[in-house]
Amino acid sequence: MNQAQLNDADACSIGVDTGGTFSDIVLLDRTTGVLWSAKTSSTPADPSIGFIDGIDQVLERSAIAARSVSHVFHGTTVATNGILESKGAATVLVTTRGFRHVTSIGRHDIPRSENLYAYVKPPLPVAASCVLEIGGRLDEKGIEVEPLNDADIVALAKQIERMDVRAVAVCLLHSYANPAHERRVEAVLNTHLRGVMITISSDVLPTFREYERSMTVLLNAYVMPLVSSYVGRLEDRLKQHAIGSRLLLMKSSGGVAGVETIRRAPVQTALSGPAAGAVGCRLIGQLAGYENLIGVDIGGTSADICLIANNEITLQSEGKIAAWPLQFPMVDISTIGAGGGSIARVIDDGRLAVGPDSAGASPGPVCYGRGGVEPTVTDAHLVLGRLPDYLLGGAMRIDREAARRAIEVRIARPLGLTVEAAAEGILAIADNHMVGAIRLVSVQRGHDPRDFALVPFGGAGPLHGVSLARLLDIPRIVIPPSPGVLSAIGLLASNLKQEFAHVILQRSDTLDVAALGNTFAALESQARTWLDAEAIPSGNAEVRWWADLRYAGQGSELRVEWNSRRVDEASLAALATQFHAQHERTFTFAQPDTPLEIVAVLVEAIGHLPHPVFQEIAEGTDLRAAEAGRQPTWFDGRLYETPVYERAKLGCAATMAGPAILAQLDCTTVIPPGYTGCIDRFGNLIVEAG
């Protein structure tokens, strides 16, 4: 990024986004308006090492003292990887007597990608023997049907103590309506269990649907020790480096929260990195003048796709991680195993397959020279001449011949192809995988991709951006000034955010308007209290109302903003109109004569933090001054002599016709033949056909 300026305190902010292959670090100096960036190899064994190494690098590069840092923002994959790799803590789930099989039964739907007749449910994070029952019962309105016995809780505590676990999840029937029983279980267990972390569903997810609520609180407990230990190491390392600033972690909803909030609900960071990318994507759209965007974040191991409509990041309340539901607000992201490290191989029936398994950070692609032997997407780009012989601004040399040999031996010869044709086939398959994921967040949500601008970012995003746009008929591609670290920049543009929800389950034609108004008032009071606890000035505090609605008789709902912030007949009519329009856009039909059901209401508390405001760059249209050389590059089976430009030397209005390659510290951009790129006043590269 060229230059930035922040309006508030004279200090610096650091953003650290930890990925599967690289960690991205940015530092914004608020006094000078300059942004520095660094990219380091991730350290999967202990991500805190890569975290602090990156901070050290960016502080050294900027010559800024550690004591000048006021905020450290972090996007982390610790909770995500703990769940995906089944590396969470030994955990017990406590549930109401008679309901111990809820998590085993789950739902009867089968993933679309699975064979209907061969599908087997994956094993749960905890064994069936680790699901324990206790007496006591509430009805759906929160009224006690059977009292809770303290002696039973003490007996339960002794049983858990013998099981040698590190975490306990408590999910009792209908606790969303009345948390009293869960809170009592938590209190008694805390007095009898030492060194065991306890989490209750009414704190993590106070909404109905027993399976989703049980799985969410179970996963929360499963990663609590892991995340708590990680966050503790981060705080220790920051103190050791004389950085006394506040640590804020990105949540799946696109907002950040303090360490204590994340320790209590670490599962909220399940989409931490991708959510930061969505925030950064929206920032770039605002600079470039586009409100409708499709962001494609392609890293070393995966591709994350998000959609932004009318400058609003699309959220969903029924997300997933692996096979497990997470029913809380999270950025609507489609993730697939397609990245620069995705491995290409010829499978048994003679077909070429790419991903989802990845070479990751270790050993990495063959061209990295770290022991990798299977060719990857990155190796294919290098063989086709779309990458220079170095990465990270020359700090990392890569081996073109090793990549070529790997593709020749493992792909080209078995398929009877030239090395170049095999490499182009690898990229074509990877691109088509990503196109399918883009359609999930656009076409299947009622949006036409042609009405959007594509924003490719991440270390590999600008290598694929134009190809993806061509496959989807998207007319415009917006490539940020620093695509490889955009998620880290998105961290700097994030706000504190917390949600407070309450289940209603009332039809619109029999709604108790006064009671609903009281519910919103109580939730807003909680939100204001949280904002005060986070020391957010009143001028920077915002509260938004939402409602989860569905037609009476439906089994799923849509989240609609309650714009009027009052509860009366007029506001209910306006809400219904919004819902009908959103339902028609999403599902192609609406039923205005059918009564609505308000499933739940939610109040969102937002604490606005100082954001970077990027300045315009100087004009510079002389391409010769930016040209670093030329190299042969393959496109569609044809060889071109392609200029390579140093992107940092391109000023506003610089225009180049494809084929062209733009090299920079954090990534490489490819403009194929038939496309033209132009640098706008904020340093974005706008690519269009023609």
Determine the pLDDT at residue 2.
41
CATH architecture of 496-608: 2-Layer Sandwich (3.30)
Lowest mean pLDDT among 224-238, 251-265, 314-328, 542-556: 314-328
Per-residue pLDDT band for 9 (boundaries 50, 70, 90) equals very low
**Cα angle at 155 between 152 and 161, to 5 degrees?**
140
- Given its phi and psi angles, is residue 174 left (phi above 0), alpha (psi -120 to 50 degrees) or beta? left
Is 549's pLDDT higher than 70?
A: yes
| The two domains 4-82+229-269 and 289-339+430-492 share their CATH topology (first three levels equal) | yes
Per-residue pLDDT band for 158 (boundaries 50, 70, 90) equals very high
Lowest mean pLDDT among 84-88, 588-592, 620-624: 84-88
Determine the pLDDT at residue 393.
67
Q: What is the Rg, in whole angstroms, of the alpha carbon atoms belonging to the chain?
A: 26
Ordered DSSP codes for 431-464: HHHHHHHHHHHTGGGT--GGGSEEEEESSSHHHH
**Cα angle at 190 between 188 and 194, to 5 degrees?**
135
Only one residue has tokens 């140093």, namely 646
Determine the pLDDT at residue 556.
86
> How many alpha carbons fall within 13 Å on the CB side of residue 132?
21
Is 4's pLDDT higher than 50?
A: no
Structural domain spans, the chain: 4-82+229-269, 88-222, 289-339+430-492, 343-426, 496-608, 623-689
pLDDT tens, position by position, 456-498 = 999 899 999 999 999 999 999 999 999 988 999 999 989 999 9
388 contacts 35 by C-beta, under 8 angstroms: no
Is 6's pLDDT higher than 80?
A: no
The C-alpha atoms of residue 266 and residue 263 are separated, in whole angstroms, by 6
Give the fold, CATH level 3, of 289-339+430-492.
Nucleotidyltransferase; domain 5 (3.30.420)
Determine the pLDDT at residue 305.
93
The C-alpha atoms of residue 639 and residue 463 are separated, in whole angstroms, by 17
Q: Which helix (H) or strand (E) holds 669?
A: strand 668-671
The C-alpha atoms of residue 525 and residue 523 are separated, in whole angstroms, by 5
**Cα angle at 390 between 386 and 396, to 5 degrees?**
145
Only one residue has tokens 């920051």, namely 238
pLDDT tens, position by position, 613-639 = 777 889 988 899 999 999 999 999 999
Is 689's pLDDT higher than 50?
A: yes
Lowest mean pLDDT among 158-172, 307-321, 628-642, 676-690: 307-321
* Between 610 and 431, the higher pLDDT residue: 431
Burial (CB count <10 Å: 0-12, 13-18, 19+), residue 221: buried
pTM for this entry: 0.86
Residue 138 CB partners (closer than 8 Å, separation 6+):
144, 145, 172, 173, 174, 175, 177, 178, 181
Is 215's pLDDT higher than 90?
A: yes
What is the average pLDDT value for the chain, to the nearest integer? 90
The C-alpha atoms of residue 436 and residue 455 are separated, in whole angstroms, by 16
Is 418's pLDDT higher than 60?
A: yes
* Between 635 and 533, the higher pLDDT residue: 635
Just give the CATH number of 4-82+229-269. Answer: 3.30.420.40
How are the residues of the chain apportioned to helix, strand and coil, as percentages rounded to the nearest 5?
35, 30, 35
The C-alpha atoms of residue 423 and residue 367 are separated, in whole angstroms, by 14
pLDDT tens, position by position, 303-314 = 899 999 999 998
The C-alpha atoms of residue 572 and residue 567 are separated, in whole angstroms, by 7
Using the CB atoms, write b or e for 62-85: b if 16+ within 10 Å.
bebebebbbbbbbbbbbbbbbbee
Determine the pLDDT at residue 356.
85
pLDDT tens, position by position, 650-663 = 999 999 998 999 99
Inter-CA distances, 199 with 133, 151, 318, 423, 567, Å: 16, 20, 21, 49, 33
- The fraction of the chain above a pLDDT of 90, given in percent, is 63
227 contacts 468 by C-beta, under 8 angstroms: no
Inter-CA distances, 511 with 143, 518, 523, 575, Å: 20, 13, 18, 14
- Give the best-scoring range by mean pLDDT among 146-150, 239-243, 257-261, 296-300: 146-150
Per-residue pLDDT band for 251 (boundaries 50, 70, 90) equals very high
* Between 372 and 174, the higher pLDDT residue: 174
- The fraction of the chain above a pLDDT of 70, given in percent, is 97
Q: Which of 189, 183, 218 is nearest to 203 (CA)?
A: 183
Is 270's pLDDT higher than 90?
A: no
Determine the pLDDT at residue 355.
83
Determine the pLDDT at residue 519.
95
Determine the pLDDT at residue 665.
82
Is 346's pLDDT higher than 70?
A: yes
Pick the CATH number of 88-222 from 1.10.3470, 3.50.40, 3.40.50, 3.40.1360: 3.40.1360
pLDDT tens, position by position, 559-578 = 899 988 889 989 999 999 99
Determine the pLDDT at residue 122.
85
- Look up residue 153 and give its two tokens: 């809780």
Is 186's pLDDT higher than 90?
A: yes
The C-alpha atoms of residue 14 and residue 7 are separated, in whole angstroms, by 16
Determine the pLDDT at residue 344.
94
Q: What is the DSSP letter of 267?
A: G
Determine the pLDDT at residue 394.
65
Is 7's pLDDT higher than 60?
A: no
The C-alpha atoms of residue 416 and residue 1 are separated, in whole angstroms, by 44
Q: What is the DSSP letter of 76?
A: -
Determine the pLDDT at residue 89.
93
The C-alpha atoms of residue 655 and residue 687 are separated, in whole angstroms, by 10
Average pLDDT, stretch 172-190? 95
Determine the pLDDT at residue 8.
42
Inter-CA distances, 208 with 88, 216, 443, Å: 25, 12, 29
Per-residue pLDDT band for 20 (boundaries 50, 70, 90) equals low
Per-residue pLDDT band for 1 (boundaries 50, 70, 90) equals very low
Backbone angles phi, psi at 315, to 5 degrees: -110, 155
